[in-house]
Structure 1
Amino acid sequence: MLFISLIALIVSTEKITICGDTHGQYYDLLNIFKLNGLPSETNPYLFNGDFVDRGSFSVEVILTLFSFKLLYPDNFHLLRGNHETDNMNQMYGFEGEVKAKYTAQMFQLFSEVFQWLPLAQCINNKVLVMHGGLFSEDGVTLEDLRKIDRNRQPPDSGPMCDLLWSDPQPQNGRSISKRGVSCQFGPDVTERFLEQNKLDYVVRSHEVKADGYEVTHSGKCITVFSAPNYCDQMGNKGAYIHLRGSDLKPEFHQFTAVPHPNVKPMAYANTLMQLGMM
């Protein structure tokens, strides 16, 4: 199985909707479908990782997304985020939530499926989508990404790690990541990668943004984040992006948080992480 799959937008009027992190915010996910229409063969979606953890309705989110993937396997796309991993799920709530609502065996099944999620998606050979970002070293090609063995927990370094964990920075070059893993990459890094791989721009998620999205690196690096009022405390908007087959120029759509049942974020998280949220 290839790590990079191709979405072919053949008809110029076709569009695909790209959503960023949803992080267990099930009622905000339903609101996306209310605003933008349910997934279908004529209304394709790409969800760019971090479906679970933090929000306390992660089971509902992931089962909904998996159901649409089963219904529309060629028109509904899911990429792996850094939170579709065992160590994150143990700390930030998904493992505890699955065990509370189902069983430990059920969590192992989710873990197995997460390991098979693609790490990146290339749209019309022009736009590369991944959860985190670009790489700690120059010279990485799309063919290199296709060769990654993805059926595993991610390593602490290398291209698989970077796809899940890296972040853009405004200054040229690279720097140590504030996250303690992978790197931060500048506009020159983005430009070289795009030029080498004959791409127009990249779309990534991974970071909360006040407006739900952010355009950086002279329009070549776009962040989209789809969990509004993140963790019930950030006050940010959510956003999703439309890309149309005619020119793939991004169209941004913002939305605000909707009410949810009175279950606080991180309700199922590791005890130490819950204390950190107080």
Structure 2
Amino acid sequence: MAIPSDYDGVKLGDKMTQEFVDDIIERFKEGKKLPLKYVYQIILAVKDICYNEPTMVETHVDQGKKITVCGDTHGQYFDLMEIFRINGRPSADHAYLFNGDFVDRGSWSCEIALLLYAYKWLHPTSMFLNRGNHETDDMNRMYGFEGECKAKYNDRTFKLFSESFSALPLATLIGDKYFVLHGGLFSDDNITLDDVRKLNRHNQKQPGQSGLMMEMLWTDPQTAPGRGPSKRGVGLQFGPDVTKRFCEKNGLEAIIRSHEVRMEGYEEEHDSKCITIFSAPNYCDSTGNKGAFINIEDDYKLKFQKFDAVKHPDIKPMAYASSPMMGMM
């Protein structure tokens, strides 16, 4: 596939380069697209990298380094740029973990997905991507990502992204202390980290209506003890006692999850053993919430940082969605 003759950007060979990443950051800010050849190349390279990662990636923070945990970014590209502006861009010494829901809602989902993938290809051992409930086909059809891929690129682009989403890990364990996953905990107290390690996510492309994958992507905390029905109609809700037992059984300090708006960008619940992080400020241009992220250095202390939404071009959220009135799933 030839590169269009009017393409004025950095060329991409068989390896990702910092120069290419820096260039596409600026191209995307200016509303420019990538040649299809590069789009396919980036998605396929990252699909292969992620496919070969375990279902739960395990990482540590070495001395003098840090990892930043981000929650949902939901296609809000200019707010992602604000994170990188105030906190630094991904590098070999500054790892990032994006905890799912990169796409849908916001109208720059292609740009976020391609940039995060480019960074994953450039820094495969210090850029971590967990799957969220919106890295799934049914969500993408309703909430905009499929339509955006077709509008900006083509149908094959969405199909390749769909295949790559199925390859993404479902969780990341940081320093044997923090279990990071998009949704939350399980319907069965007997589930352990070993069960997550053993889960073959490649046998099941989409999460379905039951099972470990669905629960990892969809569940939410509640204030009452025990478990309750989900307000979403999918998954369940889990109480502080469930979180405490899981952390004690698995030797964890806390679970870190995303999946829900928090007005201050984050919330510590369940005696600080369940932490929600959400990185899409003023979600859908209407919620008025702050965004937040967590920095973790080699002392493994959680350092929260909040930030405000920034201006973006006048393209409304859900511009590519099948129905702009869909609820906040």
Tell me, yes or no, whether TM beats 0.5: yes
1:38 aligns with 2:89: yes
What is the TM-score of this pair, normalised by structure 1? 0.96
- Please give the root-mean-square deviation of Cα atoms over the aligned residues, in Å: 1.0
Number of the residue aligned with 2:171: 120
Number of the residue aligned with 2:56: 4
1:53 aligns with 2:110: no
1:264 aligns with 2:316: yes
Counterparts of 1:181 and 1:127 in 2: how far apart (Å)? 25
Counterparts of 1:217 and 1:46 in 2: how far apart (Å)? 23
Equivalent of 1:145, from 177, 180, 196? 196
Displacement over 3 Å in runs of 4+? none
Counterparts of 2:303 and 2:89 in 1: how far apart (Å)? 18
Number of the residue aligned with 2:144: 93
1:1-278 counterparts in 2 under 5 A?
1=52, 2-11=54-63, 13-151=64-202, 152-246=205-299, 248-270=300-322, 273-276=323-326
**Residue 276 (structure 1) shift:** 4.5
Counterparts of 1:26 and 1:129 in 2: how far apart (Å)? 23
Quick one: structure 1 residues 201 and 275, their matched pair in 2 at CA, closer, same or farther if it must change by over 3 Å? Answer: closer
Give 3-state SS (helix, strand or coil) of 1:243's partner: strand
Q: Residues 152-195 of structure 1: CA distance to partner in whole angstroms, max 9, x if unpaired?
A: 11121111111100000111100000011111000000011111
**Residue 146 (structure 1) shift:** 1.5
Quick one: structure 1 residues 206 and 276, their matched pair in 2 at CA, closer, same or farther if it must change by over 3 Å? Answer: closer
Counterparts of 1:97 and 1:150 in 2: how far apart (Å)? 26
Q: Is the 8 A contact 2:268 2:276 kept in 1?
A: yes
Counterparts of 1:132 and 1:15 in 2: how far apart (Å)? 24
The residue identity in structure 2 corresponding to 1:208 is V
Counterparts of 2:325 and 2:224 in 1: how far apart (Å)? 35
Counterparts of 1:221 and 1:132 in 2: how far apart (Å)? 11
Give 3-state SS (helix, strand or coil) of 1:115's partner: helix
**Rg: which structure is higher?**
2
Give 3-state SS (helix, strand or coil) of 2:94's partner: coil
The residue identity in structure 2 corresponding to 1:167 is D
Q: Residues 182-211 of structure 1: CA distance to partner in whole angstroms, max 9, x if unpaired?
A: 110000000111111111110000000100
Q: Which has the higher contact order (CA 8 A, sep 6+)?
A: 1
Q: Aligned residues: percent identity?
A: 56
What is the TM-score of this pair, normalised by structure 2? 0.81
The residue identity in structure 2 corresponding to 1:274 is P
Q: Is the 8 A contact 2:143 2:326 kept in 1?
A: no
Give 3-state SS (helix, strand or coil) of 1:44's partner: strand
**Structure 1, unaligned runs of 5 or more:** none
Counterparts of 2:77 and 2:128 in 1: how far apart (Å)? 18
Q: Report the more deviating stretch, 146-155 or 69-78.
A: 146-155
Quick one: structure 1 residues 190 and 276, their matched pair in 2 at CA, closer, same or farther if it must change by over 3 Å? Answer: closer
Q: Residues 94-152 of structure 1: CA distance to partner in whole angstroms, max 9, x if unpaired?
A: 00000001111110000000001000000111110000000011111111112222131
Counterparts of 1:40 and 1:276 in 2: how far apart (Å)? 37
Counterparts of 1:121 and 1:220 in 2: how far apart (Å)? 16
Counterparts of 1:31 and 1:199 in 2: how far apart (Å)? 31
